[in-house]
Structure 1
């Protein structure tokens, strides 16, 4: 009875460990071999569980991949609150640069792109990833508007700041230096002087 109470109080437990291991069992082969070159069986073997455990929890490989991509995004690139949009964007851009050059960053970006061609479930996974990125940007933009600043559109930030970083990493086109990332923020179009409604 006491051990059952202790298990109930223990945060996470086996389920959290299996989820983390399954996520790593996805990002490792994507980084090594690319998307489409592994199966649920491969993920299960790397995780140390039966295939049925993976299917029971996620249903399909695409659902697991979506969980990996969105979870990675929500646990990296925290939304800063520096007191100004310029400070927020510079900190956020630096965080994104750090995260996409980190151990799983390239694998997750490749995964999201590959999911775009993986049928309806893959498109749903890609859209969930983009929606979470848009949500993060909107939090900063809404705060800026509340402070009386005139923020740019979220798509402008995606086009001028995030997309160039993604391209550099995906195509090995150059490092994401501090100067480069700061320059992307500097080149954002000047916001309109008309306050948002």
Structure 2
């Protein structure tokens, strides 16, 4: 059964929560490389076949857990002006995604993503956060770029650098990207 066909709520939700918790706990205790489906199943209190039916293999399970961990917990803070809001968001995004655990989650999210749905979910998280920042600014009467422009001019270069050229990644770099997107509006 693919992830898209699983019924939400009830037993399915409990199984997902237990399996995700088992992955996080075991990874913290033993390290990610020591994880196996039988080990995760035992900790979660399910059979290995439950994991294989739902996720297919360990990499898809790790990918699902990673995508869940990459989802923001809260809305971006309101600093009162678009430039400050977007700079603070970009700095936090950079900090979280460029951390060792952030990079590991990105890697896992993409490695177990045969149909691209996890990448789409991660992209939607960023777009949603940016949308909140832009809507607030528009509500204050500020002129704003659109979400896709911010994705192209801020998020895309940050992700490229995080994944392929992590040297020199500083808050100042994120702020320069925000300055460029605001100058382009």
Structure 1 and Structure 2 fold alike (TM over 0.5): yes
Unaligned runs of 5+ in 1: 1-12, 33-37, 193-197
Larger Rg: 1
Aligned to 1:10: none
| Conserved? CA contact 2:20–2:65, under 8 Å | no
Shift of 1:148: 0.8
Separation (CA, whole Å) in 2 of partners of 1:191 and 1:171:
26
Distance 1:69-1:137 versus aligned 2 partners, 3 A rule: farther
Query: Which of 139, 142, 146 is the aligned partner of 2:132?
Result: 139
> In 2, Cα distance between the equivalents of 1:149 and 1:44?
54
Following the alignment from structure 2 to structure 1, what is the Cα–Cα distance between the partners of residues 126 and 50? 30
Report how many aligned residue pairs link the two structures.
Answer: 166
Q: Is the 8 A contact 2:19 2:40 kept in 1?
A: no
Deviations 1:134-191 (A, max 9, x none): 1111111111111111111111111211111211121134132122121111111536
- Offset at residue 70 of structure 1 (A): 3.2
The equivalent of 1:127 in structure 2 is 120
CA contact (8 A) 2:71 2:122 kept: no
In the alignment, is residue 86 of structure 1 matched against residue 83 of structure 2? Answer: yes
Counterparts in 2 of 1:97 and 1:167: CA distance versus 1, 3 Å: same
Q: How does 1:3-152 map to 2 (within 5 A)?
A: 16=17, 18-23=19-24, 29=32, 42-45=36-39, 48-49=43-44, 50-55=47-52, 58-61=54-57, 64-65=61-62, 67-75=64-72, 78-115=75-112, 118=114, 120=115, 123-152=116-145
Counterpart residue number, 2:176: 183
TM-score of the aligned structures, taking structure 2 as reference length: 0.71
1:77–1:99 Cα contact (<8 Å) kept: no
Residues 189, 83 of structure 1: alpha-carbon distance in 2 compared, 3 angstrom cutoff = closer
**Using the alignment, how far apart are the partners of 1:111 and 1:144 within structure 2?**
34
RMSD: 3.3
Deviation of 1:20 (Å): 2.7
Q: Point out where structure 2 has 5 or more consecutive residues left out of the alignment.
A: 1-13
